[in-house]
Amino acid sequence: MLSPEVVTCPDYLLQLARNCPPVKTAIVGTGAPVVLESVRASVDAGIIDPVLIGEPDILAQIGDEIGFDISQHEIVSTPDEKAMGEIGAALARANEVHMVMKGHIHTDNFMRPLISRRTGPRSRRRLSHVFHMSVPGSDRVLMITDGAVNVAPDVKARISIIQNAVELSHALGNDRPKVALLAASEEISPAMSVTVDCQEITKRCADLNMAADVYGPLAFDNIVSVKAARFKGISHVVAGAADIVVVPTIEAGNALFKMMVYFMGACAAGIVLGAEVPILLTSRADPPAARLASAALGAVVASKSS
């Protein structure tokens, strides 16, 4: 079994981000070495211009430990985790930063003020999360949505989730992504309600004329393997060649992305879409490479939104 520490940020993503101007980014919760290491890597790559939200003494101590001079960057002082989240959301709402990144802070304290209509950045669409997965030695990218924000989205919600992911794929240069709707079977069965939902989503997305091919239900083998799809007589353009996998529940998405990380050494860049600014929802266990990839992903989205 591989550990997530072997991951590397994909070169193509870094190159796309370097073609964009540095994004002013609120780093919410900076009291851990891995966070500042990621900030330094993103600054050195020319991806972000950070606003560091945390306790200055701890920031300075960690900066000294890792050899990162934080004095050249803006610091917003607060020792309180709840206040850190509120400050990050307020800066985004006021358009003083154009991206927000989760650092060493609990997810509830980070996300609650961001998703609030009263305190967070304004939303263009339902908020949803995408994992951008890249595997060492492969040029193929697989995006998984939603494995972090929407728990059990209904048909309408999943269509919004698809629209967010398709926009992201367009921003990354894929003009017509292939979107697969995950289920346990390709057979439509009322006893397996997710298959009925997938059938309806397929029809509704076709009516929307979005620049994507959307199809389901499909079991995972027929999403990623042309051979498996052909064996089952599935000839749709999405079968075996999906760019985006839409999962029915948060558990399915979470398990799928973690299996790719821990068994395949995949780099998982995570981003929340649908708000006026990209929200980088990293895990406190994420290695620096995954955090750098998330920053690069967000920088590309921010540049397309500006």
pLDDT one-digit tens code per residue, 273-285: 999 999 999 877 7
Average pLDDT over residues 20-24: 96
Q: Is the pLDDT of residue 199 over 90?
A: yes
Residue 282 confidence (pLDDT) = 83
Cα separation, 140 vs 224, in Å, equals 10
Q: Provide the b/e sequence for 67-98 (b: ≥16 CB within 10 Å).
A: ebebeebebbebeebeebbbbbbbbbbeeebb
Residue 99 confidence (pLDDT) = 97
The pair of structure tokens assigned to 24 is 């002013």
Strands, sheet with 244-246, edge to edge from the N-terminal-most edge strand: 74-77, 48-54, 23-28, 99-102, 279-280, 267-275, 123-134, 141-145, 244-246, 178-182, 213-218
Q: Is the Cβ–Cβ distance between 242 and 212 less than 8 Å?
A: no
Q: Is the pLDDT of residue 44 over 50?
A: yes
Q: Is the Cβ–Cβ distance between 74 and 2 less than 8 Å?
A: no
Q: What is the pTM of this model?
A: 0.94
How many other CB atoms are found less than 10 A from the CB of residue 296?
26
Residue 306 confidence (pLDDT) = 65
Q: Is the Cβ–Cβ distance between 161 and 146 less than 8 Å?
A: yes
Average pLDDT over residues 40-56: 96
Q: Is the Cβ–Cβ distance between 17 and 300 less than 8 Å?
A: yes
Tens of pLDDT, residue by residue over 87-143, are: 999 999 999 999 999 999 999 999 999 999 899 998 878 999 999 999 888 888 999
Model confidence band, residue 286 (pLDDT cutoffs 50, 70, 90): confident
Average pLDDT over residues 40-58: 96
Paired with 24 in beta bridges are 49
Average pLDDT over residues 169-182: 97
- Residue whose pair of structure tokens reads 């981003």 in the numeric block: 271
Burial class (CB in 10 A: 0-12, 13-18, 19+), 118: exposed
Q: Is the pLDDT of residue 7 over 70?
A: no
Cα separation, 99 vs 27, in Å, equals 9
Paired with 123 in beta bridges are 275
Q: Is the pLDDT of residue 173 over 50?
A: yes
Tens of pLDDT, residue by residue over 219-272, are: 999 999 999 999 999 999 999 999 999 999 999 999 999 999 989 889 999 999
Computed over every residue of the chain, the mean pLDDT equals 93
Of 227, 244, 246, residue with least CA distance to 176 = 244
